[in-house]
Amino acid sequence: MSAPTRTVILLDGASLTRRQVGQIARGEALIGLAPEALARVARAADFLADQVQRGEPIYGVTTGFGSNADKLLGAHRARDELPGGNPEARTGTLLEELQHNLVVTHAVCVGAPLAPEVVRAMLAIRINTLLRGHSGIRASTLQALAELLNRGVVPVIPEKGSVGASGDLASLSHLALVLLGEGEAWYADERLPGGEALRRAGLAPLRLSFKEGLALNNGTTQMLATAVLALERLAMLLDTADLAAAMTLDAFAGRTSAFRAEVHALRPHPGQVQTAANLRRLLDGSTLADIAYHLVPRFRTWLAESWRDPADRSHRFDIVWEYVPPNQRHGKEAFYARFLPFKGGKKHQPQDAYCLRCIPQVHGAVRDALAQAERVIDIELNAVTDNPLIFPDARDARVIEDRVISAGHFHGMPLALAMSYLKAAIPVLASISERRLAKLVDPATNDGLPAFLIGNEDATDSGFMIVQYTAAALVNDLATRAHPASVYSIPTSANAEDHVSMGANEARHVLEMTADLGHVLALEMYTAAQALEYRQDMLNAARTLAQRGDWQALAAKVSNAPSPEHPQHAQFRAEATALMQALAAQEDFHAGRAVRAAFARIREEIPFMQRDRTMDADVRRICALVASGKLVAAR
């Protein structure tokens, strides 16, 4: 069976999107090079060759790099006259040797290899920026780089070594090494010497021409590629966070007035408004949210005599209310005019805790941080980030310095600061998720659900207690990694590069942190699904009991009902009958439509936990579901 045809994305230096980078990174698309862009590339390369022929001094072409910028290249190699020199072993000109040496001496990264997705994204981004035609690289070199990507050769790039100015020199040098037939690369899932990977892919090594080494390794490509993939993942996790919060709010039978449109019109931060609207949509159709206080029973441990009717024997819980006698209602008459005098699971308070009520403000602020990063990344994707910049068509140029301009576009600070913002935002999103999870398992705060969300009839069960421990550990770890790398510059290149961005570290941290953020959100959803099932089942058990019309059966679920001989018994009977009628009149109790869809998807793989069982497989499954995006898609 033939492989499916992949999309071809035409790179032109001006229109690359984050979505396209993601497709290329995942191997879902090949690339093509726009002819008009290749024409610009050729024009700049021809201009550079002409200037070299004229003997013009050009940084990084006829001079050394960095602290060697004041050294002009000579006509011959002085060191060939050194004792032990071997002039016959040398090939190419000094100008070619300069570019070759730039790549081979700068490939000094250490650590685990970058993920293939990051490297493929780097290749696409580097090709795209060079297609702008301001770098001096030849069209044939760009075509070779494109073939590297399209034929599945993935350079091995250790993850650590870039300081983010002059761009990602060290990591991009590892990428360029493979073009020279050196370094290492993955090909057909095998790690090979670079030359062998080229040979198996049907490609040949290159010899670099004027400024090509500098064009290949001078730019913000590693940090940008990593940032693009991190933003894609974080956008999905923000939607997951809203979904997890909605599921938790339904499990709490929480209040939705804090999410109303007119409320957020008074403080219209874009992310906040968007999150509130998203929550309204996710909770649409819920019969749990905004439920009357008196309808919600509290969990009581199951006993053999808890349910007398054989139809109720399948329940894994008992339920209970507490009656509020008339002598305890003084000063609360207005409240009890609206609500019946029964205390169950819901506390008599008009607002939920901050981790529920302030979801739009917290999630929304993270959305705004993401939007700022997306704005920066979208600009950078189609920017020229190497040095010097070549303007072959400049009309008013009098000297070469007007057409070959040394600038600082390789400096990664715009990206680094955007990533610093996200590094601070990620623990915030994880922290509020963990707080919701903690409320769910704590009987003092979970509004009538069982302690640790387990029946624990024999006092042997821990339930979801330790799930919160893991979430707490992850939040702490994320918080300790939130310190911005961008505020700590360490000068390099003998102080010629005296201020650097550390943007590659910043972007790598963000991408790594998204994994643990996903784990925290997964643990919340795992816990919320258990809580939601308890809440729905307890309420529907109360409703079914009420629909039988036997007020005494319902009264048996009231912990302090006055006896028939008590003077208040007649009033109690009337009020218990009113509770019975109110419950009987309710629709089936269920979560919002979107929450129900996600809950059903979870239950396809993870059943309700009636008593303690081995949970590690559950945790792996829920983490995989969140990472896959399937829960968000299920909405």
Cα 228 to Cα 27, 167, 225, 234, 381, distances in angstroms: 15, 16, 5, 10, 9
Q: Considering 59, 187, 293, 534, which one is annotated as catalytic?
A: 59
Structure tokens at 555: 């009264």
The burial of 71, by beta-carbon neighbours within 10 Å (0-12 exposed, 13-18 middle, 19 or more buried), is given as exposed
> Strand 154-155 vs strand 158-160: parallel, antiparallel, or unpaired?
unpaired
Structure tokens at 310: 């054989």
Among 11, 51, 114, 1, which Cα is nearest to 390's?
Answer: 51
354 in active site? no
> Cα–Cα distance between 44 and 67 in angstroms, integer?
26
Q: Which residues pair with 300 in a beta bridge?
A: 318
> Cα–Cα distance between 321 and 24 in angstroms, integer?
58
Q: At what angle do helices 221-251 and 18-25 cross, to 10 degrees?
A: 100
**Residue 455: half-sphere exposure toward Cβ, Cα within 13 Å:** 18
Say if residues 115 and 23 touch (Cβ distance below 8 Å).
no
Say if residues 109 and 174 touch (Cβ distance below 8 Å).
yes
> Cα–Cα distance between 319 and 64 in angstroms, integer?
80
Cite the beta strand spans of 151-248 per DSSP E. 154-155, 158-160, 184-187, 190-193
CA end-to-end span of the chain? 34
Overall size of the chain counted in residues: 635
> Cα–Cα distance between 570 and 564 in angstroms, integer?
8
> Cα–Cα distance between 427 and 484 in angstroms, integer?
13
Say if residues 570 and 578 touch (Cβ distance below 8 Å).
no
Structure tokens at 481: 């990694």
> Cα–Cα distance between 39 and 55 in angstroms, integer?
25
Residue with tokens 């790039």: 157
Among 174, 202, 176, which Cα is nearest to 187's?
Answer: 202
> Strand 29-33 vs strand 7-11: parallel, antiparallel, or unpaired?
parallel
> Cα–Cα distance between 448 and 348 in angstroms, integer?
12
- Catalytic sites, residue numbers: 59
